[in-house]
Structure 1
Amino acid sequence: MKPDLSLVDPLEHNLATRNNAGDVIVRSAALFPDRVAVVDGDREVTYRELAETVDRLGHALLGLGLPAGSPVAVTMMNSWRLLATYYACARAGLVCMPLNFLLAGEDQAWILHDSQPPVVVTDSAFRPLHEQVLPKVPVVQDVIVTDEENPQPVAGLATHGWQGLVDGAPSTPLEVIVDDRDVVQCLYTSGTTSRPKGVLVSHTSLVTSLLSNALVTRQSWGRNSPVMLVVLPMFHVTALNTVTMPVLMMGGTAVLGPMAFDPVASLDLIEHHRVTHLMMLPMMHRACVGVQEQQPRDLTSVTTAIYAMAPMPSDLLDAVEGIYPNADVILGSGQTEVVPTTVMQWPEHRHSAPDSWGPQSVSVLARTMGPMGEVQGPGETGEIVYRSPNVCSGYWNNPEANQAAFAHGWFHSSDVGHLDDDGVVWFTDRLKDIIKSGGENVSSVAVEAVLLGAPGVAECSVIGVPDERWGEAVCAVVVPDGTVPTAEIEAGVIAHAKASLAGFQVPKQVRVIEELPKTATGKIQKHQVRDAVR
């Protein structure tokens, strides 16, 4: 059955029924107009101001002549203006495309060539980058500088001040047709193995994920609103979609920490703003533990402390629980293509299944699949696959990747693992990181977990290297912590491995390096590790 809408104006029907990610701010502003939405340094932005700015900027972007569905490239530090730009794109029917400003100019140029954005919104700090890159990308017509009132032209292009565009735009509500399945964001994957892929996410996928995230992290709706500390970069799906946007959907407050992580400043913000929720990388949590032990603060407001991107050893988990006495300390996992969190531990898993990823999130169905496309049962190891409205619409300009990703009616994660009888997901390794040595499959993740406990090891990455006898040999690449002489680390790592691992899992080689190559969010770039070793 379908309604007869022949007498209904299409715009009016769309406005009354749609599922638009930008409308999140309008709803929160209607109920909590004077509540602080974003704390950005000394600046506190209320929901009223944020909503008004969003619509004005949306009008201004459309005034530049952008067709519906156009990508808007965003090269910005974490700021309330970044969030306003995102929501303005959503309300205007445009695609927000935050870029990783830590990438080299060549990679930035490749992404801009691939995505073809007519507009770039940027902080003035990135002017040298754009002077280098934009002449190579002729499709870009306009540049908007967020923190200059009358900016000089960037790369000879039409250049506008962000605030000037906002002030000069209509103050009327922004009302244009935006379909629920229209794309609202394009995030390029971190490219840990190859060229990054543009992941296209629809309004429906994003809004569903935001609600799911709010539920699984127990964010309340009403007077006792959540307060979230944001310390990860918002060009990444975790900080943008998992951390920041759910709290704004719930009428809470996002407190933006300094872009260069500072444990002292972070703990001060937690205490001052009575932060209830936070997500950090393990190395960030460790730094906060050290600072809190030296100068204790009142951190009793924290109810949920999430860690992500990498496992945490049990001693660090215990220490994090110690500095946040009222908090559940849990692991959240996911990927850009299945808007995180995709799976997340329940509080009880901290002790009953600490090495697991936890069960699927509210809006996700997780299973494992065998090599012939067969869905497997509990205890069977295979590729982890998903069905969910969280799943992206697909990759931009990459039909082969889309064919592989959606095979057999499931989204393929390229992660290997199994589900137990309780539906808890246990990660084994990335498909491409399984080491095939002497006829045995070796999980690099399992070996890494053991080697992190070896004397003198601060970090490690385990890879396979070509070997005439074994086909691939297990190679451990470690970063020393300074407590053991470098000359003794190799023997100590191998001895530690032999005491805890099967013979075929023990590294045949140990390489000591000063630093592991990582993405901006702390993921080790194993392809660069392999290149360095080989």
Structure 2
Amino acid sequence: MSEISILNRVAIGDIVRRTAAKNPNKTAVISGDRRITYKEFNNDCNRFAHYLLDLGLEKGESVATICGNSWQFLVAIFGIAKTGLVWVPINPGVSFNEKAYILSEVQAKVLLCDEMFLQGKKEELLSICPELIVIGNGALEAEKFENKLHSKQTLEPEVKVADRDIAQIMFTSGTTGTPKGVLINHQAVFIASLANIIEAGMVKDDIATLMMPAFHCAQHTLVASFFHLGATVAIIQGFEPEAFMKTVEREKITWMFGLPMMYRAFLYHPSFKKYNLSSLRYCLYAMAPMDRKTLEKGINELGCEFALGSGQTEMYPATCVFKPEDQLRKSGPYWGTPSLITDVAIMDENGNLLGKGEVGEIVHRGPNVMVGYLNNLEETNRARQHGWHHTGDLGYLDEDGLIVFVDRKKDMIKTGGENVASIQIEQVLLSYNKVLNAVAVGLPHERWIEAVTAFVVLKPGEEATKEDILAYCKEHLGSFQVPKELLIVTELPMTTTGKIQKHVLREKYQSLYSNNPV
């Protein structure tokens, strides 16, 4: 490494080091009744870093995690970042076979795993990964983890880290059924997390939720943003509407990040008026559209700002922000404006950039773009054709230059000679006052090629028939957009980050119309 690259060091682990030096006694993490200061947190990160280095691991080798949110997990994430090793977060919700595949693919040297996710597979995991550290809900295992830390020194590890060094390999969420390892360098995370501070209105006095999984790029980069500032993150394990509202009231949460379905769950909860939620000043949502009724209720009754953030693992989020001032001014599936560090354009299949109102693929450029896909040069080259990162999302620029999302390329429903955006149908379904969650897919059909098919989950305690909901759809959609069939289900297949797995529904119901054409 050259002297100039050392002088220009950009490293994720430096975030907590710098903040701890400036604000040692500020609370960094709230975990139940536990309060962890920045000094304590940074010391624990250093201890974990030394634990890994003392194992003889070399820069660039992989350390994997299968963890839910906990203070130990945060220590591991930022401890790994201090070592020059590569963090490989594995979604606990994927199958054991997929976990084993990822561990083998990255040749992980160490695995940090919550006790509850071992699945009785400890010996199998040890056969793939030579070092297994168990943490989690078990008091004994948590104590063992702390003992590992306290036996190590708190000095900053002497490791040379460069901005273009690989920091993370994150595997795509599997909404298409085929996860790919995304190579992300220190620069991408560091710069994206700084941009988020401005784009998402963060301040040093914020007390923010850590409710979405920290193994996901969106929550991870937001935590890094708050750590830059010296703000506080409050770990909320699981989501239950009333328990969440109690936490907001008790901890005086100011800034939250959640899924639209979470907002709907607590805003329409019978006990909503019972709790003092006035500390909330900024509400970020992502992963799915927010129906206008819920958005209006949230803005009016909470009295705080709402914004939508978008991005993807390959282009470290946020890449676009639908800002508070536009939430009610614009209506539809808006992604808003590019972040400070991102160029966004609309491109046709031949690499030509399109003008306002023309639908094409949404493409990005910026310092937060991935290095590439692990062991997959073909997909890497496909994703960066014509000098832009290709998202696989369709959209257009409106008359004011704001980005409007149309659909995932693969999710566009081709029915009877028409192209139907699934998100447009989903927004109508979500605006029906008895629907909690909804999704639309195209299923094979002899006449229509693909038949528009909807799946809905009703709000707890609500009753509605298929005919009721379809009648509502006919009032708000064109005839070719109205679902040919609608199934009321108790739950939808989802990733742990809240994305509906449409490929699961397509596979399960692919023969729906074979014996019963509509």
Q: By the TM > 0.5 criterion, same fold?
A: yes
Map of 1:518 onto structure 2: 494
- Separation in 1 of the partners of 2:32 and 2:156? 28
Q: Deviations over 1:431-475 (max 9, x none)?
A: 001111122111111122123345754432211122222222222
Q: Return closer, same or farther for 1:292/1:513 CA change in 2, 3 Å cut-off.
A: closer
The answer to whether the 8 A contact 1:105-1:133 is kept is no
Runs of 4+ in 1 over 6 A off after TM superposition: 148-152
Q: Which moved more, 1:286-295 or 1:366-375?
A: 286-295
Contact 2:323 2:336 in 1 (8 A): yes
Question: Which residue number corresponds to residue 455 of structure 2?
Answer: 477
Local SS of the residue matching 1:460 = strand
For normalisation by structure 1, the TM-score amounts to: 0.90
Bigger CA drift: 296-305 or 21-30? 296-305
Please tell me whether residue 468 in structure 1 is matched to residue 446 in structure 2: yes
Letter of the 1:333 counterpart: S
TM-score by length of 2: 0.92
Determine helix, strand or coil for the equivalent of 1:516: coil
Structure 2 distance, partners of 1:298, 1:480, is 27
Contact 2:135 2:141 in 1 (8 A): no
Residue aligned with 2:495, SS: coil
| 2:339 matches 1:350 | no
Q: Structure 1 residue 19 and structure 2 residue 2: aligned?
A: no
For residue 249 of structure 2, give the secondary structure of its aligned residue in structure 1.
helix
Establish whether residue 251 from structure 1 lines up as the match of residue 230 from structure 2.
Answer: yes
What secondary structure, in the 3-state scheme, does the structure 2 residue paired with 1:402 have? helix
Offset at residue 293 of structure 1 (A):
4.7
> Which shows bigger deviation, 140-149 or 277-286?
140-149
Return the offset for 1:255: 0.7
Deviations 1:288-321 (A, max 9, x none): 2244854533322222111111112222112212
Q: What are structure 1's unaligned runs of at least 5 residues?
A: 1-9, 153-159
Relative distance call for 1:443 and 1:291 in structure 2 (3 A) is closer
Q: Is structure 2 residue 486 aligned with structure 1 residue 495?
A: no
1:366 Cα offset (Å): 0.8
Q: How does 1:262-301 map to 2 (within 5 A)?
A: 262-291=240-269, 293-301=271-279
State yes or no: 1:529 paired with 2:512: no
Q: Quick one: distance in 1 between partners of 2:323 and 2:66?
A: 35
Question: Which of 23, 36, 47 lines up with 1:32 in the alignment?
Answer: 23
2:130 to 113, 126, 141: 141
Q: Please give the residue correspondences for 1:397-416 in structure 2 after superposition, counting only pairs within 5 Å.
A: 397-416=375-394
Distance 1:61 1:420 in 2: 50
Which runs of 5 or more residues in structure 2 are unaligned? 511-518
Specify whether residues 506 and 337 from structure 1 end up closer, same or farther in structure 2 by C-alpha distance, changes over 3 A only: same
Shift of 1:11: 8.3
Amino acid of the residue matched to residue 240 of structure 1? H
- Output the aligned Cα RMSD: 2.3
Q: Which residue of 2 aligns with 1:340?
A: 317
Q: Would the alpha carbon gap of residues 366 and 41 (structure 1) be closer, same or farther in structure 2, given more than 3 Å must change?
A: same
- Matched AA of 1:90: A
8 Å CA contact retained: 1:437, 1:471: yes
Contact 1:14-1:177 at 8 Å conserved across structures: no
1:143 counterpart letter in structure 2: L
Distance in 1 between the 2:458 and 2:51 partners? 52
Displacement after TM superposition at 1:511 (Å): 2.9
Q: Aligned equivalents of 2:113 and 2:84: distance in 1?
A: 20
Counterparts of 1:115 and 1:520, CA distance in 2 = 22
Counting matched residue pairs gives 507
Give matches, 1:407-426, under 5 Å: 407-426=385-404
Equivalent residue for 1:239? 219
CA distance in 2, matches of 1:375, 1:40: 48
1:484-520 CA-to-partner distances (Å, cap 9, x unmatched) read 45xx41x334333332222222222233333211111
Match runs of 1:131-170 below 5 Å: 131=122, 133-134=124-125, 137-138=127-128, 140-146=129-135, 161-170=144-153
Cα distance in 2 for residues equivalent to 1:532 and 1:339: 32
- Relative to structure 1, the CA distance from residue 292 to residue 303 in structure 2 (aligned partners, 3 Å threshold; closer, same or farther) is farther
Distance 1:265 1:514 in 2: 22
Query: Secondary structure at the residue paired with 2:483?
Result: coil
Kept after mapping to 2: 8 A contact 1:368/1:382:
yes
Q: Which residue of 2 aligns with 1:91?
A: 82
The answer for the alignment partner of 1:172 in structure 2 is 155
> 1:130 deviation in Å?
3.8
Q: Check 1:78–1:175 CA distance in 2 against 1; reply closer, same or farther (3 A cut).
A: same
Q: Cα gap change, 1:52/1:292 in structure 2, threshold over 3 Å: closer, same or farther?
A: farther
1:228 counterpart = 2:208: yes
C-alpha distance in 2, partners of 1:471/1:354? Answer: 31
What is the aligned partner in structure 2 of residue 157 from structure 1? none
Sort the Cα spacing of 1:290 and 1:420 in 2 relative to 1 into closer, same or farther, 3 A: closer
- 1:66 Cα deviation from its structure 2 partner: 1.1
- Alpha carbons of 1:32 and 1:434: their partners in 2 closer, same or farther (altered >3 Å)? same
SS at match of 1:114: helix
Q: Distance in 2 between matches of 1:280 and 1:150?
A: 32
Secondary structure class of the residue paired with 2:196: helix
Preserved contact between residue 261 and residue 437 of structure 2 (Cα < 8 Å)? no
Deviates more, 1:462-471 or 1:387-396: 462-471
Matched-pair contact (CA < 8 Å) for 1:15–1:175: no
Q: Does 1:509 align with 2:489?
A: no
2:515 maps to what in 1? Answer: none
* CA distance in structure 1 between the aligned counterparts of 2:243 and 2:471, rounded to whole angstroms: 40
| Matches of 1:48 and 1:457, distance apart in 2 | 46
Q: Report SS of the residue matched to 1:351.
A: coil
Q: Pick the aligned partner of 2:186 from 191, 197, 203.
A: 203
Query: 1:77–1:508: structure 2 CA closer, same or farther, 3 Å change rule?
Result: closer
Q: Is the 8 Å Cα contact of residues 464 and 473 (structure 1) preserved in structure 2?
A: yes
Determine if contact 1:55/1:88 at 8 Å carries over to the other structure: yes
Amino acid at match of 1:284: M
Change (3 A) 1:292 1:341: farther
Q: Percent same amino acid among aligned pairs?
A: 36
Q: Distance in 2 between matches of 1:210 and 1:260?
A: 24
Change (3 A) 1:58 1:466: same
Is 1:314 the counterpart of 2:292? The answer is yes
Q: 1:455 touches 1:484 (CA, 8 Å); kept in 2?
A: no
Say if 1:263 and 1:287, in contact at 8 Å, map to a contact too.
yes
Counterparts of 1:388 and 1:54, CA distance in 2: 30
Distance 1:292 1:39 in 2: 28
1:189 aligns with 172
Which AA in structure 2 matches 1:440?
A: E
1:251, CA displacement in angstroms?
Answer: 0.7
